[in-house]
Amino acid sequence: MTAIATLTHSTQGGPVFAPAFADDAYVRIVDAGSPALEAYVASDADGRVHVLTVRNGTGEDQDLFPEALLPDGDDPLLFLGGASTTSERDGQLVARLAPYAHVRLGRITRDGHRPDTAQEQPA
């Protein structure tokens, strides 16, 4: 029997997203465009580090537009974990989640962008 080693690649700069999971981080549920998708954004206390997590709770592929769910920023949207395939549709990034899969994406904003506090909950 041959064992196949799985490789895990860390995102360059991945540790900078850790503050989005700190005790003083804020988490808000976001609408990912389909009732089949559960999504939330975790942001650090300064509003600069944002992590989007989306889970497909169905047995069918689901598409989402992740950039619309995170604050605008100069830095690129980074893949932090999970699994998805991506494409472009009408000039927008589309992530396709396989059945029961999840994806975690991050963005850093230079100006600090805290979402509306009425929608936030401490982590």
CATH 3.40.50.720 fits 15-113, yes or no: no
The mean pLDDT value of the chain amounts to 81
Q: Which residue in this structure is represented by tokens 């206390």?
A: 45
Contacts (Cβ under 8 Å, ≥6 apart) of 115? 26, 28, 41, 43, 47, 71
> Are 41 and 31 a contacting pair, CB within 8 Å?
no
Q: pTM for this one?
A: 0.77
| Half-sphere CA count of 98, side-chain side, radius 13 A | 5
CA gap 96, 52 in Å, rounded: 15
Q: pLDDT digits over 71-118, tens only? A: 887 778 888 888 877 777 887 788 899 999 999 999 998 776 555 543
Q: What is the pLDDT of residue 23?
A: 92
pLDDT at 3: 46
Q: In the chain, where are the structural domains located?
A: 15-113
Predicted confidence at residue 113, as pLDDT, reads: 56
